[in-house]
Copies of this chain bind each other. A is one copy, B any other.
Amino acid sequence: MALPAAPAEMPRQFPKLNFSEVDENVRLLAEKVFAKVLREEDSKDALSLFTVPEDCPIGQKEAKERELQKELAEQQSVETAKRKKSFKMIRSQSLSLQIPTQEWKAPSVNPVLSPATPVLPSAFLPVQVPYDVPEFQRVSISGDYCAGVTVDDYEQAAKSLVKALLIREKYSRLAYHRFPRTTSQYLCSMRDEKWKVEDEVYPDFHSPPEENEDPYNLDDAPDNLDYVIKIKGGIPFVYDNKEMMELNEPRSLPYPDLETYTLDLSHVLALIADGPTKTYCHRRLNFLESKFSLHEMLNEMSEFKELKSNPHRDFYNVRKGRQTFHRFDKFNSKYNPVGASELRDLYLKTENYIGGEYFARMVKEVACELEESKYQYTEPRLSIYGRSPDEWQNLAKWFIKHKVYSPNMRWIIQVPRIYDIFRSKNILPSFGKMLENIFVPLFEATINPKEHKELHLFLKYVTGFDSVDDESKHSGHMFSDKSLNPDLWTSEKNPPYSYYLYYTYVNIMLLNNLRRERGMCTFLFRPHCGEAGSITHLVSAFLTADNISHGLLLKKSPVLQYLYYLAQIPIAMSPLSNNSLFLEYSKNPLREFLHKGLHVSLSTDDPMQFHYTKEALMEEYAIAAQVWKLSTCDLCEIARNSVLQSGLSDKEKQKFLGVNYCKEGPEGNDIRKTNVAQIRMAFRYETLCNELSFLADAMKTEQISALSK
């Protein structure tokens, strides 16, 4: 037929197909789809053919397992490994040539054989890192220097943040608290100082006695130093001897006085309300969260694979520390046996007419179960109130008499902030006296252990101090450098939180320095903080605490949250108990904090769960895993954090985390022990370095000014 040709610009080919040419499987599958649709139309069952199992945890888990099996099978094949490598090489080339133009040709296919291999963008090459880590996909941002803020704001924010970090470093070093090595290295480089591993400061915890050693051995107490201790105005002074005390010439121990503390606190307080800094931190935190979600998306399977190739280790048999927060004696009426507070005194206190026997037996039962379960540790709290100087002696005697020691327990001393109650009952004349009751016995036992053998022994198993009470209570007093000193604080008003924290810190700090001199173990200050009440609590703790419990209110302040991230301040969170108290479970920020890279751990916070011990902590983890869809790697990261945060000794940490646990990043992780993927470790480490490098770059103003001339 002589027909007009189709318009030249359009090829009119429409090749006819028929079924014989088509894969039989395709035909069958398509028929199945049509038939299914016909039978069930838009029913759930029909849709499941096309969807991925997003809302169904079991389906998801199965799908993941199948993927893993396939990948593992693939890994065995040399041929596939080669193809994979070739893909990557092609990919690294094609990325730079992705955008088609008129002259565009598909990127050259043969990178190996091509004579003039172009210089590959190094971001797409294997990253050069000083440690060994399985390959993973790194998220990087080109042209990123200070996302979305002005240069002035960036500089100002960075400088203030660095100053805040330097302040925390100063307070931490002096108290033998922990400060992350990486952050410290960056701070050094900013001051053009050389960072040295010898300069690092660590807390010192007593290693548990060997199996053949007697944990109650009272015979190794060191000699008397003959020093004299006196707490004046809340500050402990140590004298060489009585004469020196009378001459009022104390040994020199540097400490931050109230004015210094107030000024340092003011810097951080002003910072957290500073507009540009808020914006900067808010943006960085958002970035951290998104970056993690992208990391997970890209590397979830690789992390999973790492863990699966790790033999004989899963979440159940990695070590988990556990902090039990609340005071044994502060049960609400629900937990008073038979509803009577007299019975609480009877059963749950260490000082009562049966010598705390019931309580001791309960603790030992729990310890027994922990020892059997092997992988769980706990840090129960014992109260010292500061009502009388005998409390320590009684507690130590109770401990020894009832043989409460357990290798799976480390003890924390909690001091309730209830001066006002004691003062109103006229038990105490001043806040100063309370501090004396709490700390003088400790100094005395440190100076002359031979005279305080029981306390000296007991203190070996104590690793820190907690400060507890309802944070939402108002003190009614405005903290400042003009606040009355503790000896003059004789009113019935309770001092504010920041005041409590300052004096507790100074006493622990000076005590630690004295104990360190004698080669004795040191204590950490680990207050409950940020569960409720004022945001200033978290500022005080930023200076004075080694780590905190709760930290919920970090949610409210991007600056503080970012500072807690940069300083990797350990935060022990307990969503189940917050749940009943202050915050709905799903609103708890633990997941968000974890994703951003804050140093969080998971704890149980309800002593009555002691009754179901074997399950309590696992329950807390299980619920977190379910509600927030945490992966095994997430859970193991949290468990690893919890051991790091704990008062377990260096020796134990080496055993549970690996000999290099003090190193940061993948080098500090032994996956065989922790079951945390090295990919995860590398991501966390490189991300922290990236954030710190922003601060470091901003500190180079002078040079930049010179450059811009």
Contact = CB atoms under 8 A, between A and B. Distances in A.
Contacts of A273: 29, 32-33, 49-50
Work out how many copies of this chain go into the complex. 2
Contacts of A425: none
A106 B147 contact: no
Given A279-B52, A535-B37, A142 B130 contact: no
A305 B393 CA distance: 68
Contact of A110 (B14, B70, B266, B703): B703
A263 interface: yes
A50 B278 contact: yes
Interface residues of A, number: 190
A661 interface: no
A136 interface: yes
Interface string A23-47: 0011101111111011001100011
A353 interface: no
A311 interface: no
Interface in A352-378: none
Contacts of A151: 74, 80, 83-84, 87
- Residue with the greatest number of chain B CB neighbours at <10 A, chosen from A19, A190, A697: A697
Given A9-B199, A141-B138, A534 B707 contact: no
Interface stretch (A543-551, A552-560, A629-637, A649-657): A552-560
Contact of A34 (B37, B479, B532, B697): B479
B100 A689 contact: yes
Given A148-B300, A254-B13, A266-B27, A99 B707 contact: no
A267 B28 CA distance: 11
A578 interface: no
- Residue with the greatest number of chain B CB neighbours at <10 A, chosen from A50, A83, A128, A298: A50
Interface stretch (A117-125, A228-236, A397-405, A616-624): A117-125
Given A49-B273, A83-B151, A88 B143 contact: yes
Contacts of A88: 143, 145
Contacts of A34: 269, 478-480, 536
A686 interface: yes
Contact of A173 (B11, B152, B173): B11
A276 to B, nearest CB: 9
A144 B74 CA distance: 18
Interface string A1-22: 1011011011111111111011
Nearest to A191: B106
A381 to B, nearest CB: 25
A3 B294 contact: no
Nearest to A21: B263
Nearest to A533: B42
A109 interface: yes
Interface string A482-522: 00000000000000000000000000000001001100000
* Nearest 9 CB-CB pairings of A with B: A123-B123, A30-B266, A82-B708, A106-B189, A14-B254, A50-B557, A29-B270, A148-B301, A121-B122
